[in-house]
Structure 1
């Protein structure tokens, strides 16, 4: 198919004007028959403006339009009683689509309050904000199940993954308790969710955790100090849960980290948040089907009984996956998948899906349960595919202190990489301490990239093999040393050293390719995703 064809459709359809008064004025439905208005609950729709005609659904998809327009009964947000001690308004959030705000509870606890519906107005170029293209992008919100996030906590609990506990509410049209932002939330369906940031938000669910951090500070600490490490097995478990749920939007900003002290090391345990895209349904219309092809917007994967594209489903998380899954082996992924199969029983799934509002469960419950059961059966195969994607190119990064990287070509089919901390004169014990070890297989891995970062690092490559995995070594700032005594016969893949021309030493080896150059460009390593 000509890849320009979908672009033609989009350009043709974007020539009209933006639809005025796009969103429903109030989520609350008018009462019929003069029934009394309850003070603590309301009959609402999450977004009845997404209910469109047959022709529109043919081109843009049925998505979850019926769910958005289904009347449900939700509690009315009572800021004084919704949590013990009540809530007071905090600062507005910086999201580009949902309206969000931090609300403050007692004893320093904080919560996130955000609308279920979204407006992608700010995500578009200014020239497109007054065109029909804005209508199209707004309409795509209907591909998400507005109540899907409320199904996740019981599933995450059973799988052994830390989680938030979101709750849905309706904000009265006359609510003024949110300060100057009150008008932005009035008449809307919202989600209230704990914010796992800082010591004040620690709960008994985190056990001996001493703090809660965002991904940015966590990664800064990870690369600054050798004994700050990510719990990679826990992260792999959480990522398999993402795949099972069809949650494609798992970039580094979608995670918090519980901080633990274990045997002299600081360990960061993942906490997924913002489950807005679970059970996504996108490719059921002509235009979104074209847009979600692998050569287009591949990340928009539809939740089906079959995993249609694991690579697309994992696309948004490539940055954090590369940094938080470099140690996890294929057998470990398989063990995690098998254990999750055992834990996520039919009873767990049924009870979790019943967290949907009853009227929505009547529409989507059976289909969601059936899809989760089918995907559970195929989870080990999906985990195998996911691992193979990750294993093709693995990055092993050190810290800003001195490390010793040891690459051993053990056989034609295996290569082992170890990383040791090299203690300074003022550290005890004075022996090198193992930070990282993994056995790589030539059939799975094409390239291993080593980043020394700051510190005076040493890289050792040894062993003989007919074939070998390509090794890229980036020394980083400070003086580094490379010793390559390996031999790769029959034209196999060898090692290459990338650094500045001066200030480094490396032994003359026929198998080591000198890629040094002037300037500090090769020292750059993206630590935080900026």
Structure 2
């Protein structure tokens, strides 16, 4: 039994030698399977899942990439890269526009210590690449365009032993790849990136968001992208899975819009084996692409992106979430779903077409309920960050069980500019944390907000002012001001608790905010 469960060589072993590359004829089309080595015995599939093994093992006709002619003027390889799973090769055309080749097959064993990579654990990790649909990424552009979500435009192809690979020939020849635009820099000619003249990384964008409130993310557009992720079952949406199209605005600010990239974990099918079902129960972020999106699974489905979601969606209301979800549901018609699946080779459509049609239709109709649950999870404990420039935070009652928070840009010698505001209801929210980060911030407490919502104020760096408009009020409430004692002015009554604290590096300053987003 141990052999069956841990050693993938026990049944239908994967070949130790790579398959011989197909013969490339003059028509520049070859028959190739994305991963014939994922075919397994019935016993193995019982324990470790059926997954998309048939799709991996089925040969399909694929065009051959010739780097000298694949785009006008050809492509020149410049840099190898990739994650622990995907092998990437960055290329550039004659105009300096960048592309990337991404391997269709994956190898997660690179994340293991070398001594484990070729043993039973390594072979099992490699085998579980079959949870990913090898051709899933290719249906996304049609769907994303209809949804109003930015996207790359991958092309499937086989790269033979092309001399144009140069020094990369040994490691990258004779494999199946997707070729797509690399969303970076000047993309003013690419409609699917918003024709932005400056596309930036998450590290750069979040650094700017922390530095100044003159940079901001289009929250509704980001929410649309996140609900689209959930529809696809794409649970791996951490910060590095995004690029950002930037757009200067007439009021001298910069607006960012999200560009999702890397759809490797969309349409994930993991829990159809005995052992993988158990693992999926323990690792609840490993969400499988089912016909129904269970509301109890929404938290796990979004765990990787939670720090981003909490920061970037903080000013949106429940009504905003519903409107975006309804818009998506209406745009993603049955005809759009049908058209997207037609990009697959007929051999793959015969295996997956009916299944995906049914699942995408049912999941689409659930989007409003999923959006409600998503809002509920984010509204429970709220974090509102400032920037390293001065801000003014205003907290006040907004009716029974409600608290209003407004945040302004406090520019010297100018009228305050509203950055964002939101009314919170005790039915949804149990705590609100305000983070001053840098700058000389002002925190104003007007009256005594409803005590059913706990409010925590963290001054951060700078010499801040914390004042209460009615300091004589003594009604018990749940407002705590955390004072780092670095020259703050504190003018509050007994109803507000003032607590000394030593700022933690991962919580209360700009650098800590980037650490929170795994970007520092």
With the shorter chain as reference, the TM-score category is over 0.9
CA distance in 2 between counterparts of 1:475 and 1:106 reads: 51
Distance 2:305 2:481 in 1: 28
Query: Does the residue aligned with 1:292 lie in a helix, a strand or coil?
Result: helix
The answer to whether 1:166 aligns with 2:150 is no
Count of residue correspondences: 510
CA RMSD after TM alignment = 2.6
Q: Which moved more, 1:468-477 or 1:193-202?
A: 193-202
Distance (Å, rounded) in 2 between the aligned partners of 1:207 and 1:285? 41
Once the 2 structures are TM-superposed, how far is the Cα of residue 484 of structure 1 from its aligned partner?
3.4
Please say if residues 455 and 478 of structure 1, whose CA atoms lie closer than 8 Å, have aligned partners that are also in contact.
yes
Q: In structure 1, how many angstroms separate the alpha carbons of the residues matched to 2:61 and 2:49? A: 26
Paired residues of 1:453 and 1:476 also in contact (CA < 8 A): yes
**Displacement, 1:519?**
6.2
Pair 486,245 (structure 1): closer, same or farther in 2 beyond 3 Å: farther
Counterpart in 2 of 1:459? 443
Deviation readout 1:62-97 (Å, 9 max, x if unpaired): 000000001101100111221122101111114221
**Contact 2:8–2:123 under 8 Å retained in 1:** no
Cα distance in 2 for partners of 1:423, 1:126 equals 55
Q: TM-score, normalised by structure 1?
A: 0.90
- Measured against aligned partners, the alpha-carbon deviations of 1:106-155 in whole angstroms (never above 9, x if no partner) come to 21100111111111122123453343111111111100001000000000
Segment of structure 1 superposing worse, 178-187 or 344-353: 178-187
- Quick check: 2:187–2:193 contact (8 Å CA) kept in 1? no
C-alpha displacement at 1:278, in angstroms?
Answer: 1.3
1:85-484 equivalences in 2 (<5 Å): 85-172=73-160, 174-199=161-186, 202-206=189-193, 209-264=196-251, 265-293=253-281, 296-308=282-294, 309-425=297-413, 430-464=414-448, 467-484=451-468
Contact kept, 8 Å, 2:50 with 2:272, in 1: the verdict is yes
Structure 1 residue 177, shift from structure 2 partner = 1.6
- Quote the offset at 1:201 in angstroms: 6.3
Query: For the Cα contact (< 8 Å) 2:139–2:343, is it kept in 1?
Result: yes
Q: Which residue of the other structure, out of 6, 11, 16, is the alignment partner of 1:13?
A: 6
Q: 1:78 to 1:12 in 2, by over 3 A?
A: closer
Does the alignment pair 1:523 with 2:504?
Answer: no
Q: CA deviation at 1:356?
A: 1.6
The residue number in structure 1 matching 2:49 is 61
Q: 1:254–1:272: 8 Å Cα contact kept in structure 2?
A: yes
SS at match of 2:411: coil
Q: Secondary structure at the match of 2:369?
A: helix
Query: Contact 2:13/2:40 (CA < 8 Å) preserved in 1?
Result: no
Deviations 1:416-454 (A, max 9, x none): 1111011124xxxx1111011111111111121111111
Q: Distance in 1 between matches of 2:140 and 2:8?
A: 40
Closer/same/farther in 2, CA of residues 272 and 15 from structure 1, 3 Å limit:
closer
TM-score, length basis structure 2: 0.92
For the residues of structure 2 that align with 1:186 and 1:227, how far apart are their CA atoms?
A: 46
Partner of 2:33: 45
CA contact (8 A) 1:87 1:106 kept: yes
Q: Check whether the contact 1:456–1:479 (CA below 8 A) recurs between aligned residues.
A: yes
Question: What residue number does 1:4 align with?
Answer: none
Q: CA offsets per residue over residues 127-186 of structure 1, 9 Å max, x none?
A: 5334311111111110000100000000000001111101111111x2232121222222
List per-residue Cα deviations over 1:504-530 (Å, max 9, x = no partner): 121242232223224665634322424
Q: Which moved more, 1:506-515 or 1:517-526?
A: 517-526
* Gap regions ≥5 residues in structure 2: none
